[in-house]
Structure 1
Amino acid sequence: MRIRPLILTTAMVLLVPLAAQADELDLQPGQWEFTNVTGVEGDTPFPEQTHTSTECITAEDVARGPDFLQVEDNCEVTNMDMTSTTMTYDMVCTEEGMEVDMRAELQFMGDRLEGQMTANLESPMGPLVMRTDITGERIGDCE
C-alpha cells in the first residue's frame, strides 16, 4: 500500500475546495501556507508525517466559485455543508481497489484556517484510521 501518495492526494483534495467556495467563505485571497500533520492508527501505527505547501488563491480563483472545485475522478464528495466560517463534507475515494471513506471539517477565520480530516480504509495490513490536522495562514500577496 502506498500511504504517502494517498496522504498527498487527500491533502490536495482538501485544499482545492477552499478556493472553490472562497467567495462565500471568510477566507482572504493571497499567498497561503498550508501544513498537514497526518497520523495513521491501526495494528501497525505509522509515525506522523508533516507536509507543508504554499498556494496562491487569487481573486479570480475565488470568483470562479464552485467551478474551481477539481475532485479527482476516483473520488466523490457528498454531504457538503457550508457557512461563511465552516465547511464539512464526506468523500469516498477508490485507490488501487481500496475504498477510503473520509470526513472533513474546516473552520475559516479570514487570514487563517484550521481543520481535521479523518479517513477510514481497509488495507492489506488491516483497518487503518488516518487523521490529518490542517492549518493554513495567509502569508502575503500572491507573488
Structure 2
Amino acid sequence: MRVRPLILTAAVALLLPLGVQADELDIQPGQWEFTNVTSVEGDTPFPEQTHTSSECITAEDVARGPDFLQVEENCEVSNMDMTSSTMTYDMVCVEDGMEVDMRAELQFMGDRIEGHMTANLESPMGPLVMRTDITGERIGECE
C-alpha cells in the first residue's frame, strides 16, 4: 500500500466534490520517503508489516489541490476536515464484496508528514482492525 495514493488521493482529490476549501497543503516539494507500519488486531495474529516507498512531489502537484490525484471508484470519502496542516476523513471502500471502513488523521509539517489510519473490516477470519502508522519525510530534491 502506497501512502501517497491511498492517503492523499482519498483526501486531496475529493476536496472539490465535497466543497471543502483549504489553504495550500504544508508539503514542501521534493523527493519524499514514506513508511507505513501496519498492525492487525483480531483472533488470528498477523506479523507487523512495514512498507517504504519514495516519490517525487512537485510544486505543481501541491498547487493543483483537488486535481492532484485520483480516487479509486470503489471508495467514498466523507467527514472531510482539512486545513493546510491537518487532514481527517472517513472512507469506505468495497472490494471483492468486502467493505472496509477507515478513519485517517494526518499532520503536514512542511518537510514531514505523520499520521495514522484505522480500518475495520469483516473478513473470512472474523472482524479485523488494522492500524497503519504513517510517516513521510522530504529527503531532498526530486531525482
TM class, shorter-chain normalised? Answer: 0.7 to 0.9
* 1:1-143 alignment, distance < 5 Å: 8=1, 12-16=5-9, 24-143=24-143
Moved more, 57-66 or 9-18: 9-18
TM value normalised by structure 1: 0.87
TM value normalised by structure 2: 0.87
Instruction: Measure, in 1, the Cα distance between the counterparts of 2:52 and 2:11.
Output: 16
Contact persistence 1:102–1:120 (CA under 8 A): yes
When the two structures are aligned, how many residues end up with a matched partner?
136
Contact persistence 2:10–2:77 (CA under 8 A): no
Instruction: Measure, in 2, the Cα distance between the counterparts of 1:68 and 1:42.
Output: 35
The Cα shift of 1:116 comes to: 0.4
CA RMSD of aligned residues (A): 2.1
Amino acid at match of 1:109: M
Amino acid at match of 2:91: M
Contact persistence 1:19–1:57 (CA under 8 A): no
- 1:3 maps to none
Structure 1, unaligned runs of 5 or more: 1-7
Secondary structure of 1:127's counterpart equals: strand
Instruction: Measure, in 2, the Cα distance between the counterparts of 1:129 and 1:91.
Output: 15
Contact persistence 2:8–2:69 (CA under 8 A): no
- Deviation above 6 Å: which 4+ runs of structure 1? none
The Cα shift of 1:63 comes to: 2.0
Amino acid at match of 1:120: N
Contact persistence 1:23–1:62 (CA under 8 A): no
